[in-house]
Amino acid sequence: MDKQNVYILGIESSCDDTAAAVLCNGRILSNVVATQKIHEQYGGVVPELASRAHQQNIVPVIDQALKQAGIQKEDLSAIAFTRGPGLMGSLLVGTSFAKSLALALDIPLIDVNHMQAHILAHFIEEDGYDVPEFPFLAMTISGGHTQIVKVTDHFEMEVIGETIDDAVGEAYDKSAKILGMPYPGGPLIDKHAQKGNPKAFPFTKPRVQGLNFSFSGLKTAILYFVQKQTKENPDFIKENLEDICASIQYTIINILIDKLKKASKETGIKSIAIGGGVSANSGIRKALKEGEYKYGWKTFVPKFEYTTDNAGMIAIVGYLKYLKKDFTDMDIIAKARIKF
Ligand code: KG4
Ligand code: ZN
């Protein structure tokens, strides 16, 4: 094996996906994710079941990542793992495994902040994808997160806005549940929305100070609206599904774009990078493109497999920290809540 190559194994287990990836000098060699199907029947992630599934999945997932990368564990230069934020029981599985493996192989251990990783996923070298230049604004939107972050360097980040209640993906999933759709309903709302009239049913946008977000009021408004309409017409959802979805999507995208516009204006930064599962949404992608000619933005959307929870993003942070020799001690512990 070429000694100049740096091979990083990334391990991610913060929520309900067990993931492992191998990165060589900034390029992904393998990116394996085992999604836990068990939670679907509960309509959301059950923490105790998640940690048990991580324990079952972690060895085969890492094994597969190494095999796909075509390397042996002895070739690894360092192990990077998600320390937090996330579900404690889930984080513990990845953290303990990473520590033991690093110890056994006698190589450096690198702790990674999951939220920083969502942002630094843009630095994975990938053909056809540009890397944002500093400074830029990063908006992380998923089932667990909604944040706007000012990024001035790889490890100089400031959260300038975040949700005060539900995450945007949660708003999608909860709205979908009200409409009788399975979990996670975000992609389904997006699908129906594309055929409906976004202005059919106006929902009020929440008024939240500064660059923060709130989505719980919208969910309640949708619930009351649907309950009222179905009382009058039991087939209301079926007859209006596309328009309801389009109206929900229109409101949510407006909330996100309004805050991005405000953030861009206040900071003077026009480079905008998004991440998280909701960045797959057709509405947000279209709105960002519009922002390019309306407001002179330059926008960045990473390859889909690096937007949802994955270990490739953990490995790239591991690599960036490896270059700085920013290693961690063996007595490190997982942390459910951490700031940048
Ligand atoms: O990043 P992710 O895979 O997991 C975490 O939550 O960390 O994001 C999943 C979330 C779910 O809430 C799902 O409904 C939402 O992303 N999502 C979407 C779309 N695709 C995934 N929401 C709206 N439109 C989509 N196309
Ligand atoms: Zn995440």
Q: Which domains does the chain have, with CATH numbers?
A: 7-122+307-323 (3.30.420.40), 132-301 (3.30.420.40)
**Spacing, Cα 279 to ligand 1 middle (Å):** 8
Helix (H/G/I), strand (E/B), else coil: 20: strand
The protein residue whose alpha carbon is closest to atom 5 in ligand 1 is: 143
Helix (H/G/I), strand (E/B), else coil: 25: coil
Helix orientation angle between 168-178 and 186-193, rounded to the nearest 10 degrees: 70
Q: What is the CA radius of gyration of the chain?
A: 21
Contact between residue 162 and residue 140 where contact means Cβ atoms under 8 Å apart = no
Q: What is the pLDDT along the chain (340 residues), one digit of tens a residue?
A: 555 899 999 999 999 899 999 999 999 999 999 988 888 888 778 898 999 999 999 999 999 999 999 999 999 999 999 999 999 999 999 999 999 999 999 999 999 999 999 999 999 999 999 999 999 999 999 998 999 999 999 999 999 999 999 999 999 999 999 999 998 899 999 999 999 999 999 999 999 999 999 999 999 999 999 999 999 999 999 999 999 999 999 999 999 999 999 999 999 999 999 999 999 999 999 999 999 999 999 999 999 999 999 999 999 999 999 999 999 999 999 999 998 7
Q: Is 104 left (phi over 0), alpha (psi -120 to 50) or beta?
A: alpha
**Spacing, Cα 279 to ligand 2 middle (Å):** 12
* Pair type for strands 17-24 and 27-35: antiparallel
Which residue carries 């979990």 as its tokens?
183
Contact between residue 157 and residue 145 where contact means Cβ atoms under 8 Å apart = no
The protein residue whose alpha carbon is closest to atom 6 in ligand 1 is: 143
User: What pLDDT sits at residue 295?
Assistant: 97
Sign of CA dihedral 100, 144, 256, 287: positive
* Structure tokens that stand for 4 in this block: 């100049």
Question: For residue 81, what is the enclosing H or E element?
Answer: strand 78-84
User: What pLDDT sits at residue 183?
Assistant: 87
**Spacing, Cα 91 to ligand 2 middle (Å):** 12
| Exposure string over 297-335, b if 16+ CB within 10 A, otherwise e | bbbbbbbebbbbbbbbbbbbbbbbbbeeeeebeeeeebb
Pocket test residue of 12, 37, 142 for ligand 1, highest count of atoms within 8 A of CB: 142
Q: Is the pTM of this model over 0.85?
A: yes
User: What pLDDT sits at residue 105?
Assistant: 98
User: What pLDDT sits at residue 45?
Assistant: 83
The protein residue whose alpha carbon is closest to atom 13 in ligand 1 is: 186
* Nearest listed ligand to the Cα of residue 314: 2
How far from 152 is each of 60, 236, 296, CA to CA, in Å? 38, 49, 20
Question: For residue 109, what is the enclosing H or E element?
Answer: strand 109-113
User: What pLDDT sits at residue 41?
Assistant: 81
The protein residue whose alpha carbon is closest to atom 19 in ligand 1 is: 187
Distance between CA atoms of residues 213 and 148, nearest Å: 10
User: What pLDDT sits at residue 44?
Assistant: 77
The protein residue whose alpha carbon is closest to atom 22 in ligand 1 is: 186
Name every protein residue with a CB atom under 6 angstroms from any ligand 1 atom.
Answer: 15, 142-144, 169, 172-173, 184, 186-187, 190, 276-278, 280-281, 308-309
Contact between residue 1 and residue 75 where contact means Cβ atoms under 8 Å apart = yes
User: Measured at the alpha carbon of residue 153, what is the angle toward residues 148 and 157, in degrees to the nearest 5?
Assistant: 35
Distance between CA atoms of residues 76 and 73, nearest Å: 6
Contact between residue 278 and residue 186 where contact means Cβ atoms under 8 Å apart = yes
Q: What is the largest CA-CA distance in the chain?
A: 71
Which residues make up the environment of ion ligand 2, defined by Cβ < 5 Å?
309
* Nearest listed ligand to the Cα of residue 116: 2
Contact between residue 334 and residue 91 where contact means Cβ atoms under 8 Å apart = yes
Cβ neighbours for 300, distance < 8 A, ≥ 6 positions apart: 122, 129, 130, 132, 136, 271, 272, 273, 274
